[in-house]
Structure 1
Amino acid sequence: MFVMSPKRNPTSSATAGPRPAAECITLGTLADRARALDALDERLRRLLPAATARETRLADVRNGRIVFLASSPTWASRLRLHQAALLAEARTALGGTVERFAVKVAPLPTVPPDPTKPKPLSAATTRHLRATATALQDPELRALYLQLASIAGDDS
């Protein structure tokens, strides 16, 4: 079982106004929460028809409520038809702490495309990097420029 509510830092001061993010939650805790939400999202959307699963995402679990995003009011309505099954599965996954279900209509977060191969450096760029490297006094910086020029693989 994983905890879905982030833990607050009890040592932070009770001053008014926004606090720095570092005082609210650690980066590791935030990453763990994101992984847990992703895992729960995948688990819950397996219960849905493929088309509904494509158009909806789990957004949050907090204070006994699961919140989904739907790409349109139509998909939100279709998701609500599966509310009982989603709540039951969420209770199983989270130990019975989920009592309410909500759907919000909003654009779904986009999945970044797979990184593409970087474009090779042009021969002209390679020549300019090498020329700059020869003019530099700092040996470390010269080595970095030459290393960058070598990426092109063109010895012209």
Structure 2
Amino acid sequence: MSDSKYRGPKPARADRNTGPQAPIEALLADSAFDPLRRALWLDALDQRLRPFLPPSLAAHARLANLDGGRLVYVVDAPVWRAKLRLVAPDILDAARSLGLGVAELVVKTTTYPIHPSERTESKAKPMSAAAKEALQAALASLVDPHPGSEKNPDAKRKPES
């Protein structure tokens, strides 16, 4: 058995002297998380290209992908698509200055908000007097399952025989 090629189990990490990994580093170390790495990279690239967009357009456009030599942007309305196409040469020049070999800008339109943190939350409307009274009555019925039993305390007693 001395000629066996089995050397025992291999360690999970080659260098165990470096200490524990941060959770995000552990996630990104696995090849299964390549899409996560790409999404983080695209987000960073979007942040670097955003200053080259007109301020009114920047709130409605987001870099979605870099597909070969094409920058793919997503906008939330057709009007912003037209405006982004007008500034396409400036965006392509900015991307080339960052070292990207891009030759074309593609713009897609979506119906969803580009920046989810800027979604308008539905605000609660003030309750009408009738609705408030109905709610209070419903809550009172939950507290006392037999409304009116306080008015007649003998209602719950068994008749004496």
In the superposition, the TM-score normalised over structure 1's length comes to 0.51
Q: Which structure has more RCO (C-alpha within 8 Å, separation ≥ 6)?
A: 1
Long gaps (5+) in structure 1: 1-24, 114-156
Deviation string, structure 1 residues 91-127 (Cα, Å, up to 9, x no partner): 222x2411111101113445358xxxxxxxxxxxxxx
Does the C-alpha gap of structure 1 residues 74 and 109 become closer, same or farther in structure 2, counting only changes over 3 Å? closer
* Counterpart pick for 1:26 among 21, 28, 31: 31
Q: Which string of whole-angstrom CA distances, capped at 9 and with x for unpartnered residues, describes residues 32-62 of structure 1?
A: 2111100111111211122200011111101
Structure of higher CA gyration radius: 2
Q: Identity across aligned pairs (percent)?
A: 35
Change (3 A) 1:109 1:55: closer
Match of 1:73 among 62, 70, 78: 78
Question: What are the superposed Cα offsets for residues 55-96 of structure 1, whole Å, 9 maximum, x if unpaired?
Answer: 111111012100101111101111111101110111222x24
Task: Label 1:112 to 1:53 Cα distance change in 2 as closer, same or farther (>3 A).
Answer: closer
Taking only aligned residues, the RMSD between alpha carbons, in angstroms, comes to: 2.0
Matched, 1:111 2:130: no
**How many corresponding residue pairs?**
88
Task: Name the aligned partner's letter for residue 97 of structure 1.
Answer: G
What residue in structure 1 maps to residue 13 of structure 2? none
Runs of 4+, deviation exceeding 6 Å: none
Contact in 2 for aligned 1:69/1:108 (Cα 8 Å): no
Instruction: Answer whether contact 2:53 2:87 (CA < 8 A) is retained.
Output: yes
The answer for unaligned runs of 5 or more in structure 2 is 1-29, 119-161
Change (3 A) 1:97 1:58: same
Q: Are 1:35 and 2:45 counterparts?
A: no
TM-score (norm 2): 0.49
Question: 2:74·2:108 contact (CA, 8 Å) conserved in 1?
Answer: yes
User: Distance in 1 between the 2:100 and 2:114 partners?
Assistant: 28
Equivalent residues of 2:60, 2:114 under 8 A apart? no
Conserved in 2, the CA contact under 8 Å of 1:90 and 1:96? yes
User: Structure 1 CA distance, aligned partners of 2:67 and 2:84?
Assistant: 19
Question: C-alpha distance in 2, partners of 1:91/1:108?
Answer: 28
| 1:99 partner amino acid | A
Work out the CA distance in 1 between the residues paired with 2:62 and 2:39: 13
